[in-house]
Structure 1
Amino acid sequence: MNLEALLIAVAAVLILLPRALARLRIPLGITAFFIGLAAREFAPEVAGNDFVKLFSVLGISSLFLLAGMEINFEDLKKHRTPLIQHILIQLVAIIISACSIYLLFEFSISQCTLISLALWTPSTGFIMDSVGQWKVSEDETFWIKTKAIAAEIAALFLMFVVTQSESSLSPGVSFALMGAFIIALPVVFHFLARLVLPFSKGSEFSLLVLLAMACAVFTKEIGAYYLIGAFFVGLVSNQTMRRLPEVSNKQILDSLNLFAGFFIPFYFFNSGTLMFGAAWSLKSLWYGLAVVGIVLPIRVGITMLHRALVSGEKISSSFRIGVAMAPNLIFGLVIAGIIFRRGAEADWILPALIIYTFISSIMPALVLGKSAKRYHLVRNISRFFGTKPAKSVATNLEPERVDSEDKTSN
């Protein structure tokens, strides 16, 4: 089979198979990742193809462009106190985790910090795309999205600081360029929106994607990563378009969803081809499972405790928010890719990170999936703490059965 036909066949598999397996609650990205692993073995000429790399960049850039556009600064300002607390808790956890890794394994400080970021940062894009499939209330959905956004913004800034060692520029020059980029971007976008769009109706989406790609490449060149530039374009465009009634923000978001939905499987596929050379072994499996057993309960527990203390929520509601914020699929693979290119300081790091990433990303679908059976896990946890499950979940999950159980228990 020639290369063109092979690329078309791979694209067809990437578009169809992950969506078919999504019915079994297997995240699309995990399926695409394993297709990449298989392609590296059986079709290596596809794995390193320039088209696959380009589609991969388009996928991750459009996803973080979309994540930036989803942010509502009014909501962040309104709830700034609990969000600032959440960010501070997140940063403390990342620092403690990085210090622990350094003391245990004596890796470099930058690699310890990157690993810690991968373990503690939720993937906002994945969570926003998946939360509609989980059994959570509207209020819980709001807090899940808002907390994930706040945590990811802080993590992106920290990642930019850590990845400066990859840049050919000095840290001072990189920070100056990044500052100039952040200041200039709103001006450039406002100029394009006011002077270009009126004479080019219907080009809003194309202009936005091109600008996101250009900024993604720029931030990559100054030692950051593609997603940082695309994310900032999303932030700025969201605020600018709110002041332009002639531009349909909803229509652009719908188009971006379709665009990202087509290209993002190529990012996971490309990640799978890169990780083929990782040292998959029994040792890396045990390390990965150990990280799952230690970090995931702590992450969920910290979120539960913070929500219960600050908002006075019921344990069941705090538990659902904690579990829903566990997935780090996209951010975990991004960090794994950075570590791969920089060189992992131990052969078990990448496989262990991938195992942790996959389990944390599957967990919400298993625990919070739209099935009445999932309710019993939340109910048992609630009973252990002497509380009742939130009525929002009880109402959604077989109301008659839940009511009868409550009467029996009373």
Structure 2
Amino acid sequence: MNNELIYLLLIFGLLVIPRALQRFQLPAPITCLLLGLGAVLLWGERMNDSVIVLLSTLGISSLFLFAGLEVDLSALRKELGRLLVYLTTQIACLVGVAWLGWKYADLGWQAAALVSLALLTPSTGFIVDTLERLGLNADERFWVTSKAIAGELLALAALFVVLQAGDPTQLAISSGAMVLMMVGLPLVFIALGRWVMPHAPGSEFSLLVMVGLVAAYITYSLGVYYLVGAFIAGLVARLLRLRMPLLASDENIHALRLFATFFVPFYFFHAGTEISRDALTWEAAGLGVVLTLVIVPLRIALVWLQRRVMFGEGHKSSMKVSVALAPTLVFTLVMANILHKEFGLSATLFGALILYTTLNTLLPSLVFRTPFDVDLFDAPLPPHPEDRMGKAGEAGEAPAVANGPTALT
């Protein structure tokens, strides 16, 4: 069988089979992950294909470029007080879990911190994409979205510091490079908007993706993985929305979502191929179940207590928000990959993290009896949440979160 036919069958399998299985409450990303695992068990090293690696990189980069575009800083500022309470609790949990890993799991402090991020960081995109079908009202969707995005911002900042903190000189150099990149990206976008876009109508999407990929490569070269640079590029483009409306327009965001949706399955498939046979042990499975039984109820309980006790929210509403924030899929996979390659994470703990994120990603679909779906394109694209912020603010209500476009991370 020639390579072209193999790639065609792979594309068909990753885009069709996972969605067909969603009728059985099986999230599409989990199916892609399992397909990758099955492929490496059957064909071994032959799955280390450069084309799959490239498609996977495009998937994770476009995913976080899209996520950066979806950060609504004005909405976050409106509820800064409550979000600070959530972030303070999140920081305390991250530090506590990292200390336990360092003290009792024989992990270095950097590895322990990354394990903590893997266990506690919500997977924003897959959470937000399910909100409409989970039966949450507008206020509940707003709080789930806001808390997920705030947690993601915190995790990305922590990831950058943790990966560089072992070498103070490298941390200083990388921090300087990040500052230069954050200053330079607006200039690059403005230059493209002045000298290229007027003479190439319709080029906004391709230029946005190109800048996002370059930024992702820069941060990868700095040793902090692709997702940080791609996220920053998306965030900068979002902040330029008023000055360059075509760059982060609803149409451009919708096109980027289409682009990401095509490539993201390759990321999960590739992540599945990186699970070694050594990680598929009863010991790893047992540890994964223990982590799920301990960490997931703790995370749900903490969010429930914040909303129920501190903010006086109803029991049912608080529980819905808490359960909806449970999945950690993308961040757990990214952290597990970094830990395995850079810090020599044991196969047992690696396998436990994979099982943990699989189980907590399944939780909302089982509790609410609705499938996870990374493709929401059957519905017309509604206005961006920012466009509704003024009316909601005047009414004294929490801004309603639109059904799309939403972050995919």
With the shorter chain as reference, the TM-score category is 0.7 to 0.9
- Where does residue 191 of structure 1 map in the other structure? 191
- Where does residue 134 of structure 1 map in the other structure? 134
| Equivalent residues in 2 for 1:328-407, closer than 5 Å | 328-370=328-370
Q: Which amino acid counterpart does residue 83 of structure 2 have in structure 1?
A: L
| Equivalent residues in 2 for 1:17-56, closer than 5 Å | 17-44=17-44, 47-56=47-56
Classify 1:187/1:23 alpha carbon distance in 2 versus 1 (closer, same or farther; 3 Å). Answer: same
2:231 aligned with 1:231: yes
2:141 aligned with 1:110: no
2:328, 2:361 within 8 Å by CA — same for their partners in 1?
Answer: yes
Spell out, residue by residue over 1:167-204, the C-alpha distance to the aligned partner (whole angstroms, 9 max, x if none): 99722111111122122222222222233212211011
| Equivalent residues in 2 for 1:221-300, closer than 5 Å | 221-245=221-245, 249-300=249-300
1:328, 1:357 within 8 Å by CA — same for their partners in 2?
Answer: yes
CA distance in 2, matches of 1:248, 1:213: 16
Spell out, residue by residue over 1:258-306, the C-alpha distance to the aligned partner (whole angstroms, 9 max, x if none): 1111100000011111113442111111111111111101100100111
Cα offset for 1:132? 2.4
2:111, 2:343 within 8 Å by CA — same for their partners in 1?
Answer: no
Cα offset for 1:45? 6.0
Q: Which amino acid counterpart does residue 306 of structure 2 have in structure 1?
A: H
CA distance in 2, matches of 1:57, 1:276: 20
Cα offset for 1:349? 0.7
Cα offset for 1:248? 6.6
- Where does residue 172 of structure 1 map in the other structure? 172
Q: Which amino acid counterpart does residue 79 of structure 1 have in structure 2?
A: E
2:63 aligned with 1:76: no
- Where does residue 59 of structure 1 map in the other structure? 59
CA distance in 2, matches of 1:182, 1:278: 41
Cα offset for 1:205? 0.6
SS of residue in 2 equivalent to 1:241: coil
- Where does residue 319 of structure 1 map in the other structure? 319
Classify 1:168/1:33 alpha carbon distance in 2 versus 1 (closer, same or farther; 3 Å). Answer: farther
- Where does residue 219 of structure 1 map in the other structure? 219
Q: Which amino acid counterpart does residue 76 of structure 1 have in structure 2?
A: L
CA distance in 2, matches of 1:112, 1:208: 35
Cα offset for 1:225? 1.1
Cα offset for 1:166? 8.6
Structure-1-length-normalised TM-score: 0.87
Q: Which amino acid counterpart does residue 122 of structure 1 have in structure 2?
A: P
Q: Tell me whether 24-33 or 240-249 shows the greater mean CA deviation.
A: 240-249
CA distance in 2, matches of 1:342, 1:244: 39
Unaligned runs of 5+ in 1: 372-410
Q: Which amino acid counterpart does residue 351 of structure 1 have in structure 2?
A: G
1:300, 1:322 within 8 Å by CA — same for their partners in 2?
Answer: yes
Q: Which amino acid counterpart does residue 190 of structure 1 have in structure 2?
A: I
Cα offset for 1:72? 0.9
Q: Percent identity?
A: 36
Q: Tell me whether 46-55 or 282-291 shows the greater mean CA deviation.
A: 46-55
- Where does residue 145 of structure 1 map in the other structure? 145
Structure number with bigger Rg: 1
1:166, 1:223 within 8 Å by CA — same for their partners in 2?
Answer: no
2:340, 2:346 within 8 Å by CA — same for their partners in 1?
Answer: no
CA distance in 1, matches of 2:55, 2:74: 34
- Where does residue 376 of structure 2 map in the other structure? none
Structure having the higher helix fraction is 1
Cα offset for 1:65? 0.9
Spell out, residue by residue over 1:217-275, the C-alpha distance to the aligned partner (whole angstroms, 9 max, x if none): 00000011101111011111112123334557111111111111110000001111111
CA distance in 1, matches of 2:274, 2:166: 18
Using CA pairs under 8 Å that are at least 6 residues apart, name the structure with larger relative contact order, 1 or 2: 2
- Where does residue 182 of structure 1 map in the other structure? 182
1:59, 1:265 within 8 Å by CA — same for their partners in 2?
Answer: yes
1:135, 1:369 within 8 Å by CA — same for their partners in 2?
Answer: no
- Where does residue 401 of structure 2 map in the other structure? none
CA distance in 1, matches of 2:103, 2:166: 24
CA distance in 2, matches of 1:85, 1:54: 40
Structure-2-length-normalised TM-score: 0.87
Cα offset for 1:146? 0.6
CA RMSD of aligned residues (A): 1.9
Q: Which amino acid counterpart does residue 154 of structure 1 have in structure 2?
A: L
Classify 1:16/1:45 alpha carbon distance in 2 versus 1 (closer, same or farther; 3 Å). Answer: farther
- Where does residue 398 of structure 2 map in the other structure? none
1:65, 1:230 within 8 Å by CA — same for their partners in 2?
Answer: yes
- Where does residue 305 of structure 2 map in the other structure? 305
- Where does residue 94 of structure 1 map in the other structure? 94
SS of residue in 2 equivalent to 1:170: helix
SS of residue in 2 equivalent to 1:43: helix
CA distance in 2, matches of 1:43, 1:245: 48
1:336, 1:353 within 8 Å by CA — same for their partners in 2?
Answer: yes
Q: How many residues get paired?
A: 371
Spell out, residue by residue over 1:375-395, the C-alpha distance to the aligned partner (whole angstroms, 9 max, x if none): xxxxxxxxxxxxxxxxxxxxx
- Where does residue 398 of structure 1 map in the other structure? none
- Where does residue 8 of structure 2 map in the other structure? 8
1:344, 1:350 within 8 Å by CA — same for their partners in 2?
Answer: no
2:61, 2:230 within 8 Å by CA — same for their partners in 1?
Answer: yes
Q: Show structure 1 runs of 4+ deviating over 4 A.
A: 165-169, 245-248
Q: Which amino acid counterpart does residue 189 of structure 1 have in structure 2?
A: F
CA distance in 2, matches of 1:246, 1:291: 45
SS of residue in 2 equivalent to 1:251: helix
